[in-house]
C-alpha cells in the first residue's frame, strides 16, 4: 500500500538469514488499499506475501469502510455488502493459514457494528488516528468492550502542523457519533465528516 514492502521484504529476509531472529519472532503486518473489489483482498495478500518474502502475515487490515473513487453513487448498504465480502475473503485467508489475525483501519463505531454483526472472525484491530486533539472516546469504549485492539496513529505532518496543546480546542473532538440507533446500520462512505 505504501510502496515499502519490497524493501522491507529484502531487509527481513537478510535479517532472518543472518540469524537475527526466527520468523515467528517478527510481527509482519500489511494493509489492503483497494480492498472492496471482489478478489482484491486475496490478490493483495498474495502480493504482500511475495514482496515481504514470508509464508504468512501476522496481521492484515482492510484500509477503510469506503470505496474511495469506486464508491461514488453507491448506497451505504451496497458499501456494507462489499465490506462483508472483503471480510469473508480475509476469513478464508485465516482459514488457509496465510494470515494469522485480521483487522480494519479507520472504521467508526457504526462501521464496526455492521462488520461485527456478520463476521465469523471479529476484527482483532481497528487502527485509527488518535491523539490529544482526536481522542475518540466512544470508539475506544466500543473497541474495548469487544476485545478489539485500537492502535492509534499520528502522522508526522499532522504533528508538525498542529502544535499541542491547541490554543483553540475543538469543543467536540470526537467525530464518531457513537453506536448507531438504527437497527440496520450501514457504514458511512466518508469517515471524515
Cell 463476521 identifies what position?
119
Q: Cα torsion for 17, 4, 104, 36, to the nearest 10°?
A: -120
Cell 469502510 identifies what position?
65
Q: How big is the chain, counted in residues?
A: 193
| Catalytic residue annotation | 2
Name every residue whose Cβ is closer than 8 Å to that of residue 86 and which is 6 or more positions away in sequence.
32, 35, 36, 40, 41, 62
Name every residue whose Cβ is closer than 8 Å to that of residue 100 and which is 6 or more positions away in sequence.
56, 57, 58, 59, 94
> What are the b/e assignments for 71-100, b being 16+ CB within 10 Å?
beebebeebbbbbeebbebbeebbeeebbb
Give the chain's end-to-end CA distance (angstroms, integer): 24
Amino acid at each position: 500500500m505504501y510502496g515499502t514492502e519490497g524493501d522491507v521484504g529484502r531487509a527481513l529476509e537478510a535479517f532472518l538469514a543472518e540469524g537475527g531472529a526466527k520468523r515467528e519472532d517478527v510481527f509482519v503486518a500489511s494493509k489492503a488499499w483497494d480492498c472492496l473489489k471482489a478478489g482484491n483482498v486475496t490478490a493483495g495478500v498474495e502480493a504482500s506475501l511475495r514482496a515481504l518474502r514470508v509464508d504468512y502475515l501476522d496481521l492484515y487490515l482492510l484500509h477503510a469502510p469506503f470505496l474511495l473513487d469506486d464508491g461514488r453513487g453507491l448506497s451505504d448498504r451496497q458499501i456494507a455488502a462489499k465490506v462483508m465480502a472483503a471480510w469473508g475473503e480475509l476469513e478464508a485467508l485465516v482459514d488457509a493459514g496465510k494470515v494469522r489475525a485480521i483487522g480494519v483501519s479507520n472504521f467508526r463505531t457504526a462501521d464496526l457494528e455492521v462488520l461485527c454483526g456478520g463476521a465469523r472472525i471479529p476484527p482483532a484491530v481497528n487502527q485509527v488516528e488518535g491523539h490529544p486533539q482526536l481522542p475518540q472516546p466512544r470508539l475506544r469504549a466500543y473497541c474495548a468492550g469487544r476485545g478489539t485492539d485500537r492502535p492509534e496513529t499520528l502522522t508526522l505532518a499532522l504533528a508538525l502542523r498542529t502544535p499541542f496543546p491547541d490554543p483553540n480546542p475543538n469543543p467536540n473532538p470526537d467525530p464518531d457519533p457513537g453506536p448507531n440507533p438504527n437497527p440496520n446500520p450501514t457504514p458511512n462512505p466518508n469517515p471524515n465528516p
